[in-house]
Amino acid sequence: MAINYDHLMNYPIPDGVQDMNFRDAIIYALGIGLSQDQLDKRQLRYTYEDDQKVFPSMAVVLAGPGFWVKNDDTGVDWVKVLHGEQGMEIHKPIPVNGKLTGKSTMTEIIDKGAGKGALMYSERVVYDESGDKVCTLTSTTFGRGDGGFGGPEKPAPKPHALPDRAPDGFVDLSTRPEAALIYRLSGDYNPLHADPDVATAAGFKAPILHGLCSFGIACHALVKALCDYDGDRLKKMGLRFTSPVYPGETLRTEYWQDGNDISFRTTVLERDVVVLNNGYATID
């Protein structure tokens, strides 16, 4: 079964509902490595319930619709999909407690041609109990097995270009060996991140870290370096996933600052591999 453009563009993606509470926020923050320095009270505000705040990159796991592309009527070859890009815009601080609702829509599907795959663009807006927007999330999914379905073949948007100069600074953050096992408690239970046999069958030497966990670690680096751990100052962030990370590796996030606009990329030091690229962020 192939993708039907009009059907998938108008697909009734289920709403996501989440009863947010302080435990969810703490588990997420620990999953991306906050409070490895237990004496740093700036980080403790995200991992301890006394005057607690929610780390901004938690937006990407809020009120999701689940893995709906796996449904038979989508036409998507779900076994071959990859998460290509992720973006977020924060409209107001994420509440520590309360009901959140996520409403998702498809925004475009680009047919790269037979044997070349398809790009599926989606957006999720998360609302709080008052009906206010909390955040808007954008995602690009690469369907490796879905090209040639007869959809639009227009060029994909160009990624954010990094400045042609030396970085203004960098932050190194280590990941714990059990990081993926903690992060999966935030909602992504794909066995690829936990079961060595599944990881080997997929071509990896060991379970890999969730891409959105690497996203959160890069956010941690920016909030540490540029916001003195005041996560409310981060308003927007996006990037392209370029390579997997293994738990236990060290991530170096290099950044360029032009006023409130930030560019960044993230590299695994042990392998000298860029894992997150074309990153951008806005701070106030």
> Within a 10 A sphere around the Cβ of 165, how many other Cβ atoms?
7
Tell me, what's the pLDDT at 49? 95
Domain annotation covers residue 164: no
Which sequence positions are flagged as catalytic?
Answer: 188, 193, 208, 211
pLDDT digits (tens, 9 = 90+) for 43-72: 999 999 999 999 999 999 999 999 999 999
Query: Which of 109, 143, 177 marks a domain boundary?
Result: 143
25 vs 32: CA distance, rounded Å:
11
| pLDDT score, position 30 | 98
What is the mean pLDDT for each group of 10 consecutive residues in the chain (284 residues)?
93 96 97 96 96 97 94 92 96 97 97 94 97 98 94 89 98 97 94 93 93 98 98 98 97 98 98 98 97
99-136 confidence digits (pLDDT tens):
999 999 999 999 999 999 999 999 999 999 999 999 99
Q: What is the pLDDT of residue 277?
A: 98
Q: What is the CATH number of the domain that holds 84?
A: 3.10.129.10
| Eight-class DSSP state of 178 | T
Q: Is residue 111 part of a domain?
A: yes
State how many domains the chain has.
2
Burial 36-51 (b: 16+ CB within 10 A, else e): eeeeeeebbbbbeeee
156 lies in some domain: no
Query: Are 177 and 237 contained in the same domain?
Result: yes
Residues 190 and 230 in one domain: yes
Task: Write out the two tokens for 155.
Answer: 């060029």
- What's the Cα-to-Cα distance from 60 to each of 63, 126, 137, 201, 206, rounded to whole Å? 9, 10, 7, 28, 25
On whether residue 231 sits in a domain, the answer given is yes
| Shared-domain flag, residues 86 and 183 | no
CA 245 to chain CA centroid, nearest Å = 13
Task: Clarify whether residues 139 and 183 are in a common domain.
Answer: no
The reported pTM is 0.95
**Mean confidence (pLDDT) of the chain:** 96
Same domain, residue pair 182 and 59: no
Residue 189: which domain range?
169-283
d(CA 275, CA 249): 12
Answer whether 105's CB lies under 8 Å from 14's CB: no
Residues 6 or more apart in contact with residue 129 via CB below 8 angstroms: 98, 99, 100
Return the bridge partners of 49, or none. none
